[in-house]
Amino acid sequence: CGVCEEHVANHYCVVCAEFLCKNCTRVHRLLKTTRNHEVTGVAERKELLITKTSSSLPTCPKHKYEKLKFYCETCQHPICRDCTVLQHKDHKYVLLTDVVRDVR
């Protein structure tokens, strides 16, 4: 979860571009400032990103000049090279192209 950084994310806020765990999603949907945000499941977000990736690799929102080349299986979302050694260094990740190939 990008908010509490304690639990595995199972939702994604499209407006905030943030992955959320079950508890943070509940709070996100209750807060006046975020209750109208579009929140989707991680599976739906994964499918969308796989579709986008099949045409071209997007850039990382945290490291603007890095392409999303990997898929973090721990967090269930695409990451860049810098993410693999910084925010996701102890996580399990694979090449994003392998994930796309396996889904097809």
Domain extent listing, the chain: 11-103
Q: Is the per-residue pLDDT at 5 higher than 60? A: yes
Three-class SS state of 49: helix
Mean pLDDT of the chain: 84
* CATH top class, domain 11-103: alpha beta
Q: What is the pLDDT of residue 33?
A: 92
Q: Which helix (H) or strand (E) holds 13?
A: strand 11-13
Sign of the CA dihedral with 36 first, then 75, 43, and 62 last: positive
Q: Give the model's pLDDT for residue 25.
A: 95
| Residue 53 to residue 68: CA distance in whole angstroms | 9
pLDDT digits (tens, 9 = 90+) for 89-104: 899 999 887 876 665 4
pTM: 0.48
